[in-house]
């Protein structure tokens, strides 16, 4: 790959003075892990094989419904977003796929876009449909819902959009369609709670029928927003019932921010897996609602516990356990590249710590009802600083030991500020 946005020489130059210290830290951690019977190189190999997708929309500054504060050099189209995603993957090495959102990503030639991404070392993850906004010139409004709307025309339009997303995904090389609808109500009595779900299921079945054999349909639940009284697919219960109704290729996607505060998300993960319906994740963190804060910035322990359930699930697979991982954050006050570099590192750290849990000790303590030792089995892994494993895996794959320092030294954003046109002001997450 010749036209990569960050020069390999710059990365190597920044790594050089840090390699000796990294090797020392790696060896010291290796000796500590070996005392517990763990081979650090085997863990590093797991890390090297781990990946999480980045969303195309995450490359831009998010903003809130009150305001958006763009930064100079922010990407203005899917091509510039891809370039930024390539930077994240070049430096961090854990994010080789991009998840697109339609019609937010304006594209004229999908085959050419696939090639453009491949030339940047990127592939494509789940395609996200959008029936929660009206687009200019659209025949039917989603003001009263999309897949669950009383308006048969709006439902049909939403079905057709999703089928079009599948067709786009086929051209890009994706195999998952993620469906999140904002459908719901703001007033008691506004819609019949049962019949709106019936309509959703009928419409979703038409999308399901259009799925290629090797594709999955991922249903993303969300408790509230934009609807504030009831939401059609509000929780994992509605999601798993819908997925079971639709068929084997339909699975549930867990966005960490889409639950009530303090909900036990790791238990939801275990439940979905138990019934073969765990399809994927949108990683982010939250303090109050769907805040879309950076992964692990508020509650990294919860993220670790989620990965602990995933490690259990991996050891006890059901129905082709293969969850898709994606970051879904809104970067309002940081450079999105820096946030996603940092988040990918946090997510990978939690994955790594979960890999270090002594499962035999955990299970033995659970069997003996030894609560404290069961907890300690988790705690021992959680408190290990896995940074040297992550950095070594990155460096060996051509990435940066210190991703943020190397990114800043590259002056990438400043260079883009010279080349790219300015983003307009305004509200909204697009």
CB of 54 to Mn ion, least distance (A): 13
Count of C-beta atoms within a 10 Å radius of residue 240: 23
Can you tell me the distance from the alpha carbon of 47 to that of 351, in angstroms, rounded to the nearest whole number? 8
Instruction: Give the number of other Cβ atoms within 10 Å of residue 402's Cβ.
Output: 16
Nearer to ligand LRH, 128 or 342 (CB): 128
* Burial class (CB within 10 angstroms; exposed 0-12, middle 13-18, buried 19+) of 124: buried
CA atoms within 13 A on the CB side of 331: 24
Does 328 interact with Mn ion (rule: CB under 5 A)? yes
Site string for Mn ion, 280-319 (x = CB under 5 A): --x-------x-----------------------------
Of 224 and 382, nearer to Mn ion (C-beta) is: 224
Contact positions with Mn ion (CB under 5 A) in 227-286: 255, 282
CB of 130 to ligand LRH, least distance (A): 7
By the rule CB under 6 A, 222 interacts with ligand LRH: yes
Ranges within 22-61 binding ligand LRH (CB under 6 A)? 57
- Interaction between residue 105 and ligand LRH (CB under 6 A): no
H helices within 288-400, ranges in order?
A: 300-315, 336-355, 359-367, 371-382, 387-396
Q: Is 101 in the site for Mn ion (CB under 5 A)?
A: no
Mark the segment that binds Mn ion (CB under 5 A) among 117-125, 211-219, 328-336, 382-390: 328-336
Name which of Mn ion, ligand LRH, none residue 124 binds, using a CB cut-off of 5 to 8 Å depending on partner kind.
none
State the CB neighbour count (10 A cutoff) for residue 111.
10
**Beta-bridge mates of residue 220:** 253
| Closest CA relative to residue 340, chosen from 53, 15, 104 | 53
Which residue's Cβ lies closest to ligand LRH?
A: 180
393 binds, among Mn ion, ligand LRH, none (CB under 5 to 8 A by kind): none
**Angle CA(361)–CA(362)–CA(367) in degrees, nearest 5?**
95
Separation CA 29–CA 384 (nearest Å): 9
Of 113 and 327, CB closest to ligand LRH: 327
Nearer to ligand LRH among residue 26 and residue 281 (C-beta) = 281
What's the CA gap between 282 and 233, in Å, rounded? 16
The answer to whether residue 180 forms part of the interface with ligand LRH (CB under 6 A) is yes
Q: How is the beta sheet containing 97-99 ordered, strand by strand?
A: 54-55, 97-99, 123-124
Per CB under 6 A, which of residues 315..334 are in contact with ligand LRH? 328
Quote the least distance from Cβ 258 to Mn ion, whole Å. Answer: 6
**Residue 83 touches which of ligand LRH, Mn ion, none (Cβ within 5-8 Å per kind):** none
CA 134, CA 120: separation in Å to the nearest integer? 32
- Segment 235-294, which members bind ligand LRH (CB under 6 A)? 255, 282, 290
Q: Please check whether residue 146 is in contact with residue 133, taking contact to mean a CB–CB distance below 8 angstroms.
A: no
Chain positions contacting Mn ion, by CB under 5 A: 255, 282, 290, 328
- Name the residues that contact ligand LRH, by CB under 6 A: 57, 128, 180, 220, 222, 255, 282, 290, 328, 429
């Amino acid at each position: 790959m010749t036209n990569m946005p960050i020069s390999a020489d710059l990365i190597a130059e920044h790594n050089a003075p840090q390699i000796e210290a990294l090797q020392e830290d790696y060896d010291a951690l290796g000796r500590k892990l070996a005392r517990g019977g763990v081979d650090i190189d085997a863990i590093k190999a797991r890390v090297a094989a781990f990946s999480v997708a980045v969303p195309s929309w995450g490359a831009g500054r998010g903003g809130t419904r009150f305001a958006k504060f763009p930064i100079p050099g922010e990407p203005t189209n899917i091509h510039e977003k891809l370039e930024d995603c390539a930077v994240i993957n070049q430096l961090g090495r854990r994010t080789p796929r991009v998840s697109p959102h339609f019609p937010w990503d304006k594209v004229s030639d999908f085959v050419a876009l696939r090639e453009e991404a491949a030339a940047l070392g990127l592939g494509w993850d789940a395609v996200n449909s959008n029936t929660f906004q009206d687009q200019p010139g659209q025949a039917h409004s989603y003001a009263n819902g999309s897949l669950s709307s009383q308006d048969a025309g709006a439902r049909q339009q939403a079905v057709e959009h999703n089928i079009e997303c599948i067709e786009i995904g086929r051209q890009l090389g994706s195999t998952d369609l993620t469906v999140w609808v904002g459908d719901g109500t703001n007033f008691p009595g506004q819609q019949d709670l049962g019949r709106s779900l019936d309509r959703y299921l009928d419409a979703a079945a038409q999308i399901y029928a259009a799925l290629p054999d090797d594709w999955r349909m991922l249903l993303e639940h969300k408790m509230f927003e934009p609807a504030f009284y009831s939401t059609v697919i509000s929780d994992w219960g509605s999601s798993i019932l819908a997925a079971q109704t639709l068929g084997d290729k339909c699975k549930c996607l867990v966005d960490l921010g889409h639950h009530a505060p303090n909900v036990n998300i790791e238990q939801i993960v275990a439940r979905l897996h138990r019934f073969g319906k765990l399809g994927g994740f949108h990683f982010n963190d939250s303090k109050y609602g769907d805040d879309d804060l950076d992964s692990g910035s508020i509650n990294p322990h919860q993220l670790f516990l989620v990965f602990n359930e995933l490690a259990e699930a991996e050891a006890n697979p059901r129905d082709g356990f293969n969850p898709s991982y994606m970051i879904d954050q809104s970067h309002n006050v940081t450079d999105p590249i820096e946030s996603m570099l940092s988040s990918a590192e946090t997510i990978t750290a939690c994955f790594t710590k979960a890999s270090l849990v002594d499962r035999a000790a955990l299970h033995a303590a659970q069997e003996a009802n030894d609560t404290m030792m069961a907890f300690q089995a988790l705690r021992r892994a959680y408190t290990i600083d896995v940074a040297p494993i992550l950095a070594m895996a990155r460096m060996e794959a051509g990435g940066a030991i210190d991703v943020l320092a190397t990114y800043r030294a590259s002056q990438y954003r400043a260079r883009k500020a010279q080349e790219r046109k300015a983003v307009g002001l305004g509200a909204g997450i697009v």
